[in-house]
Amino acid sequence: MPDSPSVELPDSDPLASFLLTGAYVALYLYFFPNTTNPFLQWILQLFGTSMIRFIVMLATGLHVLEALISLYFTLVVAKGFFSLADSLQWFATIVLLGYPVLFRLVPLANRNQSKPPGQSSRVER
């Protein structure tokens, strides 16, 4: 893992890709239920509007919770390692992509926390 606290996109993970695609399809159907796409109409009929609403609320809640956890790790756990811009980048990326990015952040923040006081692994640019 590099010493830079910049956001790293996760490797290709089939489960994460499937869940993210499903959440974004549900989000689309939640806001545009009158779509003319036959595949999306089939999904809407299969799951129903109440299940689509539940999926959207669950995914939104989980992503917001993960993003708040990222703020905790960037601002509290690894205090001084991440700049405000880095923290905001991690926050926004985790809101959009979720847990795979959070799993990249946690070791980075914890690794910096274990350094003795006064020593930082941050690379100055």
Query: In this structure, is residue 125 part of a structural domain?
Result: no
| Structure token digits, residue 112 | 């910096």
Q: With bands split at pLDDT 50, 70 and 90, how would you rate the model's confidence at 1?
A: very low
Q: Is the pLDDT of residue 124 over 60?
A: no
Q: Are 75 and 103 in contact (CB under 8 A)?
A: no
Query: In this structure, is residue 55 part of a structural domain?
Result: yes
Q: How many domains does the chain have?
A: 1
Compute the half-sphere exposure of residue 54: CA atoms within 13 Å on the CB side of its CA: 6
Query: In this structure, is residue 44 part of a structural domain?
Result: yes
Q: Is the pLDDT of residue 43 over 70?
A: yes
Q: Are 51 and 22 in contact (CB under 8 A)?
A: no
Q: Are 4 and 100 in contact (CB under 8 A)?
A: no
Domain range for residue 62?
14-113
Q: Is the pLDDT of residue 2 over 80?
A: no
Query: In this structure, is residue 120 part of a structural domain?
Result: no
pLDDT given at position 50: 95
C-alpha angle 107/111/116, rounded to 5°? 165
Query: In this structure, is residue 85 part of a structural domain?
Result: yes
Q: With bands split at pLDDT 50, 70 and 90, how would you rate the model's confidence at 53?
A: very high
Query: In this structure, is residue 29 part of a structural domain?
Result: yes
Q: Does this model's pTM top 0.85? A: no
Query: In this structure, is residue 41 part of a structural domain?
Result: yes
Q: Is the pLDDT of residue 27 over 90?
A: yes
Query: In this structure, is residue 39 part of a structural domain?
Result: yes
d(CA 95, CA 101): 9
